[in-house]
Amino acid sequence: MAPVGRPGAGGRVAAQAVTVLVLAALAALVSVLVPNDPWHNWFDLRVYDGAAEWWRSGRPLYDYTYGRTQYGFTYPPFAALAVLPMTLLPIEAVAAVHATVNLLVLAGVTWWLVAPLARRHGWPVGFSVAAAVPVLFVLEPVRETIGFGQVNLVLLALVLADVAALRRGSRWAGVGIGLAAALKITPGLFLVYLLLTRRWRAAAVAAGTGALATGLAFAIAPDTSWRFFTSTLWQTDRVGRLDKTSNQSLLGGLARLTDPAQPPRLLWLVLVVVVLGLVLARAVRAARSGDDLAGIALTGLAACLVSPISWSHHLVWLVPALVVLVDVAAGSPTAPGTPSWARSRRSAGALVALAALVLASSSIWFAEADPGHHHDRGVLGIVVEDLYLLTTLAVAALLPARGTGPSGRGGRRSPDRADGAAPLSGGTAPGRGVHR
């Protein structure tokens, strides 16, 4: 007689499959019910496609605006070269390819982050990864990267590929960061991270890769490149209003709190210096403890905070940060010297749960306000409209670096080998209105 009360392997697989399907259905339902349009009809992708077609026809790239909007191409010329092939296909086909590629990138990044963590804690690997994909998909930065037709998941994957390369000691470490910085300026902060953590070779590779890509664009389109770096790059008004609800940077928060048109720039610069210094210091300490994933996540969050404009879909750097928090909440040790308020399993669990709830519910859109009306709902409305900014600040301040065991160089072992087996995370495989 078969044992009673213990499901066999087939029963466990069936239960896991049902759980994943339920999570996927919930992710789809939440995406439909959130207060902000979750899809946006690939608006940014249409901007890129239109700008590339405009440029290919011989007109100045940065003179292009989409339809009757103010939006045009805002990325470096190397990014324009990268999207030129889009013009060979109808936009519907481009959108389908973009969505497919980004879903595959999401699945790959999730496997890289979650599979080693699952092995460490004794969780079923396939089930853990499959369950994590819809959970991560429903977070607004991920969901809207796909809905807008954005590049943030690709940038995340490029930088995480360098984390894997650093762990292997690969001579190619830095290529991903260099390409990401050539496609979009803000990932250049990861080069600073490499320098601060004394990865001289990787920093040189990143700088060289970025310079080669940018130089290629200069060689092909010198006038366009000169215009971008001397003029277009500094015109933040081309991107959108500073006080838009979707701008969850420090400057966006200041614009909503003070003057939407002219927020106090001196105060912003002071905040940038303080926040950048503190968060990068935490990132360096994480790297020295062997936890490059936490260091990279903190650097990405710092870039989002100090950039003049960080739309909600830019906050994909919360994804690796949340994985680190899950790891600590599940029992992985934190690095020596971690403050008590940052190393508690309960604190990590509470922070990851609150952050996931805030991001999945698209909470900021419950308090969306027009210019000059951000105070109409009182203090609660101001707080809700800035919830992504506040969440990013909280994670940047509280994210723990995971502990290490004794080992070789520097007397420490990287946390991805702290148990002598699998990595803690990461492996060796790789608006209601329009907002941008």
pLDDT tens-digit map of 263-289: 999 999 999 999 999 999 999 999 999
Would you say 421 and 225 are in contact if contact means Cβ atoms under 8 Å apart? no
Which of 316, 73, 98 minimizes the C-alpha distance to 187?
316
Give the tens place of pLDDT for each residue, 112-135: 999 999 999 999 999 999 999 999
Q: Which of 2-11, 141-150, 264-273, 394-403 is predicted with the least confidence, judged by mean pLDDT?
A: 2-11
The whole-number pLDDT of residue 405 equals: 43
- Which tokens in the block code for residue 358? 């805030």
Integer angstrom CA distances of residue 199 from 119, 261, 300: 29, 41, 17
Phi-psi region of 427 (alpha: psi -120 to 50; beta: other; left: phi over 0): beta
The whole-number pLDDT of residue 343 equals: 73
Q: What is the mean pLDDT of the chain?
A: 89
* Identity of the amino acid at 26: L
> Which H/E stretch holds residue 171?
none
The whole-number pLDDT of residue 425 equals: 43
Handedness of CA 142, 147, 148, 151 (dihedral sign): positive
Give the tens place of pLDDT for each residue, 58-107: 999 999 999 888 889 999 999 999 999 999 999 999 999 999 999 999 99
Which of 76 and 11 is assigned the larger pLDDT?
76
Confidence tier at 413 by pLDDT (50, 70, 90): very low
Q: Which residues, 6+ apart, have CB-to-CB distance to 213 below 8 Å?
A: 78, 178, 179, 182, 183
Handedness of CA 281, 282, 287, 293 (dihedral sign): negative
CA 1 to mean position of chain CA atoms: 53
Would you say 162 and 173 are in contact if contact means Cβ atoms under 8 Å apart? yes
The whole-number pLDDT of residue 417 equals: 45
Confidence tier at 6 by pLDDT (50, 70, 90): low
Within 290-332, strands assigned E span none
Could you give the 3-state DSSP secondary structure of residue 402? strand
Which of 25 and 416 is assigned the larger pLDDT?
25
Compute the distance between CA of residue 27 and CA of residue 5 in angstroms, rounded to an integer.
31
Q: Which of 186-195, 295-304, 326-335, 385-394 is predicted with the least confidence, judged by mean pLDDT?
A: 326-335
pTM score, two decimals? 0.90
Looking at the DSSP bridge assignments, the partners of residue 247 are 311
For residue 240, pLDDT beyond 70: yes
Integer angstrom CA distances of residue 128 from 91, 114, 390: 35, 7, 29
